[in-house]
Amino acid sequence: MSESGPRFYAWCDETARVDAHAAALSALVYPGALISVDCGTELRTTSMDEAVALIRAHFGSGRAYVGSRMLLSSSNHFIFPDQRGPDYSLGVPIVDFGSSCYTEAYEHRDPTGPIEMSPSDSEDFFRFNLDLAWGRGPRSLEAEAEVTWHVIQVDLEDLLLRLCAPDASGRVRTGACTNAWHWDAPAAMCATYHADAREIARDLALSWVHLHDKEKVSRIAGMSQEALRARVDAAPHGARVAMKYGSDFAESLSRETVLKALAAPPSELLEALEASAVTDDAWRAAARRAGEILELTSQIAETGEGPPTWRVYTATSRHIRFLKKHAPFNVRRLPSGGVLLATHPYRSLWPLWADALFLLDLMP
DSSP string, 52-67: HHHHHHHGGGSEEEEE
Distance of alpha carbon 315 from alpha carbon 318, whole angstroms: 8
| β strands within 248-349, DSSP E | 252-254, 310-313, 330-333, 339-342
Distances (CA, A) of 31 to 34, 49, 70, 93, 233: 9, 13, 8, 14, 49
This prediction's pTM: 0.92
Instruction: Give the pLDDT confidence score for residue 86 in this predicted structure.
Output: 37
Mean pLDDT for 233-254 is: 87
Distance of alpha carbon 228 from alpha carbon 259, whole angstroms: 10
Report the SS3 class of residue 363: coil
Mean pLDDT for 293-312 is: 79
Question: Residue 321: is its pLDDT beyond 60?
Answer: yes
Q: Supply the mean pLDDT for the chain.
A: 90
Mean pLDDT for 127-135 is: 83
**Of 117, 107, 103, whose CA–CA distance to 26 is shortest?**
117
